[in-house]
Amino acid sequence: MSILAAESANPLLPPVGEIIVGLIAFAVLLFVVVKFVAPRFEQVFQARRSAIEGGIERAEAMQAEAEAALQQYRAQLAEARNEAAQIRDSARAEGQQIIEQLRAQAQEESARIVARGEEQLAASRQQVVAELRGQIGTLAVELAGRVVGESLADDARRSGTVDRFLDELDEMAASNPAGNGGAQPASGAATGSTVYVPEGNR
Amino acid sequence: MTSSAHALGDVLAVESDPGGGFTPPGIGEFYPEVLTSFSVLGVGFEITRITIIAWVATLAMIAFLVATVRKPQIVPGKMQFIGETGYSFIRDGIARDVVGPKGLPFAPFLASLFFFILANNLMAIIPFAQISPMSKFAFPLVLALICWVVYIVVGIKNQGLWPYFRDIMFLPGVPKPMYLLITPLELLQNFIVRPFTLAIRLFANMFAGHMLLVTFALGATYLLSVGNFSAVFGPISALMAIVMTFFELLVIFLQAYVFTMLMGTYLNGSVEAAH
């Protein structure tokens, strides 16, 4: 097309050849986009969407897990606290019980010691009485013998005999209580070692 | 902008007396020298630099798109992100939101439309090309005719032959006598005016944009070469050419988007029954 022809050309009346060129150009681009570009982009969008959804799901699962773990820890903590309180309570009760028990034991022990002391005392007294009874018998026989053997007329002698007898009695009385008094503390010391000393006083 | 071009024209008219004068750019701009011509089945093909530019633009866009999806990853790289943003812009912004719930299958077509127009439009400001194939009426016309066929076929497929035409011709809720007036208008609007407005809007924008840029650029070189006081206006004209280039960039994106967007609304009317 010459320049002169171009000057008079109507730009709104395109030649058919140009239309075909444009058609082919667009068709090629359309083909590439429809067959290659768009499917790939859709694929990427799909993959991205599923990746994001998967990520959200994973995050949710993780959060649920963490929540469960927290719940578990809390439960365990509460349980442990409960247990500790129980242990403390039972320990306190047990301690109380032990004190009660020890107190009862100590009382029993002291009662036993007292009873044994009394028993011993009674036994020594019994012994003394028996001993005295025996001696009194012999003494009475001896005295009666002496009274019968010697003249009853002699007042002086008689009184002398009685005096001697009484002196002897006195002597005995003086030596016997001394012997009893010595035996008593000895038994007391012997039982003293078994006296219970409460733990609290240690 | 036109007034400034007009003012420049006045200055040039005054200046056109000495030294042969200024020859304003004309329609010849769009009819460059034929590099080679041949004929297939009686249809003559003339290969000009605009033809080559159209091919370069299309192939560059294909190469770019393929590069962005070559190794698709869930976490996109820089390239993939740019391609994805462009594709999602049309897929979500037009196919899903404008066409409607049934619009996603049209996303590849709409995206192709957008990318094709954008690539060819961008040639208007790419150095050494500096003319958009879209300023040749053949290219927008092809796209508009394809759109025309697509939205009619989709309408008939989705609604059935008769319901589709009936809904267009006889708008529900209109008083019967009014059909005398409205039916011819609707038919004209839907089947004749739509494709032509679609084509002419894009064509005229790119045509005028190119003329504007050429006028300012040629004006600047002419004013600087005149050699008298007019040289003062040379840099102003050059500055205007640069400003208009940025304006052209805006128009490039806007027209690509408007074309796709309008096709989206037409498809919406075809996919869903008219109300």
Q: Is the Cβ pair B69, A37 closer than 8 Å? A: yes
More confident residue, B124 or B13: B124
- Per residue in A24-49, pLDDT tens? 888 998 999 888 888 888 888 888 88
- Per residue in A174-186, pLDDT tens? 776 554 544 444 4
Taking the CB of residue B39, how many other CB atoms lie within 10 A of it?
Answer: 10
Among all residues of chain A, which has the CA nearest to that of B141? A19
pLDDT at B17: 52
pLDDT at B259: 93
By the 8 A CB rule, do B22 and B12 touch?
Answer: yes
Taking the CB of residue B124, how many other CB atoms lie within 10 A of it?
Answer: 25
Average pLDDT over residues A89-107: 94
* Reported confidence tier of residue A54, pLDDT bands at 50, 70, 90: confident
pLDDT at A117: 93
Assess whether pLDDT exceeds 50 at residue B124. yes
Q: Which of B34, B109, B133 sits opposite A1 (nearest CB)?
A: B34
Which residues have a Cβ under 8 Å from the Cβ of B97 and sit 6 or more positions away? Answer: none
Assess whether pLDDT exceeds 80 at residue B4. no
Q: How many CA atoms lie within 13 A of A27 on its CB side?
A: 8
* Reported confidence tier of residue A16, pLDDT bands at 50, 70, 90: confident
Distance of CA B241 to the CA centre of its chain: 21
Q: To the nearest whole number, what is the mean pLDDT of chain A?
A: 80
Mutation choice for A interface testing from B115, B137, B145, B147 by most A CBs within 10 A: B137
Find chain B residues with C-beta within 8 A of A47's C-beta. 74
CB of B58 within 8 Å of any CB in chain A?
Answer: yes
Give start and end residues of each alpha helix (H) in chain A.
Answer: 3-7, 16-32, 38-149, 155-192
Q: Is the Cβ pair A17, B44 closer than 8 Å? A: yes
Distance from the A8 Cα atom to the nearest Cα atom in chain B, whole angstroms:
8
| Phi, psi (degrees; rounded to nearest 5) at A119 | -60, -50
pLDDT at A188: 44
Give start and end residues of each alpha helix (H) in B160-232.
Answer: 161-169, 179-188, 194-226
Find chain A residues with C-beta within 8 A of B69's C-beta. 36-37, 40-41, 44
- Per residue in B230-249, pLDDT tens? 777 888 888 888 888 889 89
- Per residue in B128-159, pLDDT tens? 878 888 888 889 999 999 999 999 999 898 88
pLDDT at B10: 67
The lowest-confidence range among B1-10, B54-63, B89-98, B117-126 is: B1-10
Q: Which two tokens stand for residue B44?
A: 């003559």
ipTM over 0.90: no
pLDDT at A81: 95
B47 bridge partner residues: B36
B43 bridge partner residues: B40
The lowest-confidence range among A198-202, B39-43, B140-144, B153-157 is: A198-202
pLDDT at A36: 87
Average pLDDT over residues B168-192: 83
Q: Is the Cβ pair B138, A21 closer than 8 Å? A: yes
Assess whether pLDDT exceeds 80 at residue B15. no
Find chain A residues with C-beta within 8 A of B141's C-beta. 14, 19, 22
State whether residue B136 is helix, strand or coil.
coil
Q: Is the Cβ pair B74, A16 closer than 8 Å? A: no
Q: Cβ-count burial of B207 within 10 angstroms (0-12 exposed, 13-18 middle, 19+ buried)?
A: buried
Q: Is the Cβ pair B137, A12 closer than 8 Å? A: yes
Chain B stretch 149-188, residues whose beta carbon is closer than 8 A to a beta carbon of chain A: none
Q: To the nearest whole number, what is the mean pLDDT of chain B?
A: 83
Average pLDDT over residues B6-12: 67
With a pLDDT cut of 70, the percent of chain A lying above it is 78
Q: Is the Cβ pair A18, B138 closer than 8 Å? A: yes
